[in-house]
Amino acid sequence: MGDPNLSSLSLQTLLSEKVGQLMDWTGRRAVIRMNGEKFRRFVKAPPRNYSVVIMFTALQPQRQCGVCKQADEEYQILANSWRYSTAFTNKVFFATVDFDEGSDVFQMLNMNSAPSFIHFPAKGKPKKSDSYELQVRGFAAEQLARWVGDRTDVQIRVIRPPNYAGPLMLGFLLAVIGGLAYLRRNNLEFLYNKNVWAFSALCFCLIMTSGQMWNHIRGPPYAHKNPTTGQVSYIHGSSQAQFVAETHIVLFFNSAVTMGMVLLHEAATSDMDIGKRKIMCVAGIGLVMLFFSWLLSIFRAKYHGYPYSFLLS
């Protein structure tokens, strides 16, 4: 029978070596790249007193996973925010497993999609809540930080690199508006043009009702590509989430319906000859019926069991 004290000392030495190696890798780059061997040694094999958050991805160009690249950028921001935080400890580490470097890990965990995020706790096996709901919560670093906080009690304040694109675009827009106002300083009647303000208000309403604000807050993927079949989905199948492409589609459909209604109004109130008014009326009815039918079909795809449809089932 072996000496229990010696066995305990060996485990402590092994744990110290593992933590030291992980700290060394983290010091070089915030996200540790793992293959099958590293995963089995540092994540699956005991002893372990630290949590590991792993992003399973497929970043190689031949995989054509655009979402993986976007998610990786947010994941890097999260990991760097933790690595350079004053609260940084060896309680949790961030790692990534690429399919082309660790396909055996994907097979071990029966994973068939990427990107995916899983938290491996310090004790026990991952539970259902340790798998990040990417399609519902999106992959924004802030959302990932909240999930990590729920699973590990480690609160990470996300710090993004400075982005001057927004202020520059705002400055450019203000400069253009100011320049136009200066050039037409002797004739500012266009500011009182109701059509200009109506069009601006309509564009704002269409953008906001299409879900752009939700995208800004949640940071969802543009679309989803099934790595097994290669099929790309632009419409999310759940009513609790959406893709960026989906909001663009809805924005276009809403715009087409609105254009149809405008044509119908003009056909009923304008002073044009009867022939042109008939054409506008038919075009307006066609736009409203066709694109409203497509909107209903999208609604039915997201709210399963919705009983109504129009033209398209």
* Residue range 113-156, pLDDT digits in tens: 888 999 999 888 899 889 998 877 888 899 999 999 999 989 99
Q: Which long-range CB contacts under 8 A does 198-202 form with residues at least 24 apart?
A: 202/258
Supply 288's token pair: 């409203």
State yes or no: pLDDT of 180 exceeds 50. Answer: yes
The amino acid at residue 10 is S
Rounded Cα distance between 119 and 141, Å, is 15
Q: Which residues sit opposite 119 in a β-bridge?
A: 53
Local confidence band at 309 (pLDDT 50, 70, 90 cut-offs): confident
Threshold 0.75, pTM exceeds? no
The pLDDT confidence band at residue 1, using thresholds 50, 70 and 90, is very low
Q: Which two tokens stand for residue 174?
A: 């203000």
Name the band, by pLDDT with cuts 50, 70 and 90, for residue 163.
low
* H or E stretch at 203: helix 194-209
In sequence order, the 6+-apart residues with CB closer than 8 A to the CB of 106 are 56, 97, 99, 112
Q: What is the pLDDT of residues 184-198, one digit of tens each?
A: 777 767 677 788 788
Q: Is the pLDDT of residue 4 over 60?
A: no
Instruction: Say what the pLDDT of residue 117 is.
Output: 94
Give 232-270 pLDDT, tens digit per residue: 888 887 777 788 888 899 999 999 999 999 999 988 888
Where residue 6 falls among pLDDT bands split at 50, 70, 90? very low
> Looking at per-residue confidence, does 177 or 70 come out higher?
70
Supply the mean pLDDT for the chain: 85
Alpha helices (runs of H) in 228-306, residue ranges in sequence order = 244-269, 274-302
Which among 117, 98, 63, 57 is positioned nearest to 230, based on CA atoms? 63
